[in-house]
Amino acid sequence: MNDPDSSGRFGSYGGRYVPETLMSPLAELEEVFTHLRTDSGFSSELQKVLRDYAGRPTPLYLAERWSDRLGGIRVYLKREDLCHTGAHKINNTVGQALVARHMGKNRIIAETGAGQHGVATAAVAARFGLRCTVYMGSEDMKRQALNVYRMRLMGAEVVTVDAGSRTLKDAINEAMRDWVTNVRDTHYILGSVLGPHPYPLMVRYFQSVIGREARQQVLEQEGRLPDLLVACIGGGSNAIGLFHAFLNDESVRMVGVEAGGRGTARGQHAARFTGGRRGVLQGTYTWILQDDSGNIDPTHSVSAGLDYAAVGPEHAYLRELGRCEYSTASDKEALNAFHELSECEGILPALESSHATAYLRRQAAGLTPGACVIVNLSGRGDKDVDSVRGIEGGS
Ligand SMILES: *Cc1c(COP(=O)(O)O)cnc(C)c1O
């Protein structure tokens, strides 16, 4: 199952770098999760909510016109954009809400940057009748006002974080602080394969439904395994969600695409593997963007969901093993890819997902004709229409 070792390490990455006060809540969470993942009652409960509430299974869609445009490869899109609330995030929040209920916790907290994880958390909190507080940097609240309003409509309290850079990193610090104080009745739903053990493992577990479905669907529709999988990488949850079921299929190549932003200068991108180094951020040892004295670098991406200084520890390990490859796409390439998919297929992709499609556009000419590729369409682009219009000045 490619699980981390008992201390939560994938090779040398991962672990649990937290203050003493968080050690026992994390150990308790690990124990409950370890039990639930082998409990058949929990699995059927989870499956039912994913089907009736989140909208699973999502289609594996052969994008014929876009495939032609790319020169005759066969490209399938895994349609996570069709999930409830518009992205893969709901797979994880549904799962963790069920975990919280099993632990007897009636309050949920979360952090959010772009607001997508906050919205998916607010939705499941409403669905299960749990109180919900979402921490969000004041800069992000300004940029994502509509998502703040969505969360409030669903009954969540959105708390402004004015510390530090007033973005995601600072919101995570506040959520951790809340959790330490209120752990008796509160579960913290972390939004990606990041943070201290068991979060990278637990979030992978809930997202790996993407790849399990896709593997079965491609075998049915194409009669064989794909040659290549492509997904964008913020923390890396949609990517590991797609990759995990294929890790033991040696013939399947996998590429994760980070945000190349405006270029390679410090502060202009979120490409941890090309511009970063190893270190600890927010509970985990992985590749991060930091300067010589260990200060975290500012990051930039046109897509808020990829704009974070650390990458999930399992990706660091898979890269070291040579099992998965990692690349980047720039803001400009992602915007061009956003338009191309919209025009060829009538599907507006999230700007995050457009980094994955941008990579494939750039590389398609080098693939064997007839090659079969699955791109994870992690989310829908409706949320990004205003920012694309703002950048390009359309009407
Ligand atoms: C949050 C988000 C991402 C990035 O998060 P991962 O954990 O890397 O998947 C990618 N795409 C969309 C649509 C998102 O909302």
pLDDT digits (tens, 9 = 90+) for 231-272: 999 999 999 999 999 999 999 999 999 999 999 999 999 999
Q: Which residues of 53-72 are buried (b: 16+ CB within 10 A; e: fewer)?
A: bbebbbebbebeebbebbee
Greatest Cα-to-Cα distance within the chain, rounded to the nearest angstrom = 57
Question: Among 378, 380, 385, which is best to mutate for testing ligand 1, by the most ligand atoms less than 8 A from CB?
Answer: 378
Active site residue 89: yes
C-alpha to C-alpha distance for 75 and 322, rounded to whole angstroms: 24
pLDDT at residue 214 in the model:
99
List the residue whose alpha carbon is closest to atom 7 of ligand 1. 237
Strand order from edge to edge, sheet including 372-377: 60-62, 74-79, 372-377, 228-232, 253-261, 325-330
pLDDT at 327: 98
Helices 40-49 and 89-102 pack at an angle, to 10 degrees, of 140
Q: How far apart are the first and last CA of the chain?
A: 50
Per-residue pLDDT averaged across 213-226, rounded?
98
Residue 395's pLDDT is what?
62
- Give CA separation, 220 vs 14, 213, 216, in Å: 36, 11, 6
Burial of 250 (0-12, 13-18, 19+ CB in 10 A): exposed
Q: What is the length of the chain? A: 395
Mean pLDDT of the chain: 96
Q: How far apart are CA 158 and CA 249, in angstroms?
A: 43
**Residues 6 or more apart whose Cβ sits within 8 Å of residue 56:** 50, 83, 91, 209, 213
Q: Is the pLDDT of residue 100 over 80?
A: yes
The residue contributing the CA closest to ligand 1 atom 14 is 305
Structure tokens at 227: 């040659």
Q: How confident is residue 122, by pLDDT bands cut at 50, 70 and 90?
A: very high
Q: Name the band, by pLDDT with cuts 50, 70 and 90, for residue 197.
A: very high
| pLDDT for the residue numbered 1 | 62
Rounded CA gap, 191 and 188, in Å? 9
Ligand 1 pocket, Cβ-based, cut-off 6 angstroms:
87, 89, 116, 192, 232-239, 305-306, 350, 352-353, 378-379
- Of 30, 67, 80, 111, catalytic: 111
- Give the helix/strand (H/E) hosting 234: none
Q: How far is 274 from 272, CA to CA, in rounded Å?
A: 6
Rounded to an integer, the average pLDDT of 105-132 is 97
Contacting residues for 321 by C-beta, under 8 A, at least 6 apart: 11
Tokens 């490409």 correspond to 271
Q: Which residue's CA is the closest to the ligand 1 atom numbered 5?
A: 234
The yes-or-no answer on residue 78 being catalytic is: no
Confidence bin at 142 (pLDDT 50/70/90):
confident
Q: Please tell me the pTM assigned to this model.
A: 0.98
Strand partners, 14: 9, 285
